[in-house]
Amino acid sequence: MSHAATSLALLKVLLSATFPSLLLGLSMAASALAAPQAVDSRIDAVTVYSSGATVTRTTSVSLNAGETVLRFSGLSSEMDRRRVQVELLGDGVRLGQIKFSDVQQRDAFDTQVRDLQQQIEALEDNIAQINDSNRTAELKLKFLDGIAQGYAKESWFEGARGSADISSWRGALQVLDEGSAEARAAIRENNQRKRSAERDLSQLQREMQQLRGQRKVSTDVLVTVSAATAQDAQIKLHYYQRNAGWAPKYVANLDSDSRRLQLTQKAEVTQNTDEDWNNVALTLTTSEPSGAMQAPEVFSEFLRLRDPMVPMAEDMAASGIRRMAATSVLEEVAVQAAPKGAAQVDVGAYTVTYQVPGRVDVANDRDDEASFDLAEMNFTTELVTRIVPRESAQAFLVAKFIYDEDLPLYANNMLVYVDQVFVGETWLPTALPQDEITLPVGQDRRVEFSVRNQGGRTGESGFIGRRKQELIANLFEITNRRESATLVEVFDRYPTAVDDDIEVTLPREATPPTETDFDDKPGVIVWRKSLGPAETWGINHQYEISYPADKSLVSQPR
């Protein structure tokens, strides 16, 4: 074989050996340069915490064997990228790299704005045509009215001359009646169409305002997956949103005759993310609060001595600070109740999870709250009337019961109804199983009471170490106007001496309290008694204070 022939044969062998490898390399390079596969995803489920929410998007994709890059487009730019998770449901499918990119959305939003603008202009034209049609009908009525007046005048003269044509009158009246009826029917129909068009126009204008306030940047998530074989797979994308949350709300319905209390736990869900949650499975979890409604609280009073010549500025300042702290209040907001249906509840060792039944919508509007019923419980209560003569001229009713449910309740505001009548709003404290709950349910107008000053005295005694004595004496009279017995609690206090030179004693005539140092508050006292129908109860609330005559008392309520 010649040298040229040998070289040609060797070249053929080399080409035949390298060509498949070359094709494979080109194929891999082409694969690496291939555009990511766009996927359409939807929000399928949302788990809401007290602050924040985890959003779950789902999609189904067709994967080739090998590596594929999937692109989730137009997602929220507010997502916490550190908390993004991808869940793959398929055989032999593995997750690779996850990348994020910001995408300007102005063009996309401009397209939506143009579409909305065209719809708004069409509705405005429609409303203008309706207005024109109404004006035409009104002109027709005015014209017919003018004809009617002229014809009536002419007919009167003919009647006066004795030449009236009765059949002509009847024909004219029929024409006028049919014409005016047709015009008025057209106006009524036009007004109905106009109201409907104006509602649609208002909705489109709100959508336009919301759209123009939306984000101008969205996030694309690039997910690399590899599959052992070509297959269809389901992919779930989980990400965290900050601007969302839920809080428990409560409604209490008390039947005062049976003393049965129905307690309904609700959830108020709000979200102000840049996405709507439409037709989603909603889960709530605890893993991440006008007018006087309850009896005022009685605070301890401490007495100490002060030299009369010492300025009282510091004492007054300290007392003022304590008084401000004692009277500070927490403002609460009433919410509207909504859809029925108990949620599925899972009580864990440390958290409670509620699965809202069905699929629901939650709009991304900070002013829009979605309300869902979570649980309904019933309790037999003990009704107690509380009176605090020192602080209020009203008696207040409370319902006491043992919370014997397994579901913990977390503190928040409560709407209160008594005998199907709304009486106001209060605060439900956190309740754990077997806790005793004291729930304020408003003013009790069927228990009356009065306070009479019995004329306390002031005097001095002793030659050496003279002392002053002050007697405080009040008579409380309470009358039960109910048709049945009721338990009454009357709250007040004895002052507590801070200095040893101050003595607080009870005269023999004083009515001993049922309980002292109530709720671990020094000096706070309670009298308790069950009053029968029309029964009146008198309490002599008396105490005497003794202290050195060269000193003065400073009272510091706490």
Long-range interactions of 200-206: CB distance < 8 A, separation 24+: 200/123, 201/120, 201/123, 201/124, 201/127, 204/116, 204/119, 204/120, 204/123, 205/120
Would you give the distance in Å from CA 180 to the centre of its chain?
53
CA 336/CA 369 separation, integer angstroms: 9
Structure confidence at residue 452 (pLDDT): 92
Structure confidence at residue 514 (pLDDT): 96
Beta bridge partners of 503: 546
Structure confidence at residue 216 (pLDDT): 62
Structure confidence at residue 511 (pLDDT): 96
Structure confidence at residue 47 (pLDDT): 92
pLDDT tens digits, one per residue of 68-117: 899 888 888 788 888 888 888 878 888 888 888 887 655 455 566 677 78
pLDDT tens digits, one per residue of 500-529: 899 999 999 999 999 999 999 999 999 999
Structure confidence at residue 329 (pLDDT): 28
**Inter-residue contact 471 to 457 (CB < 8 Å):** yes
Alpha helices in 163-246 (DSSP H): 166-212
List, for the chain, all residue ranges whose pLDDT scores fall below the cut of 50. Answer: 2-33, 107, 289-290, 312-340
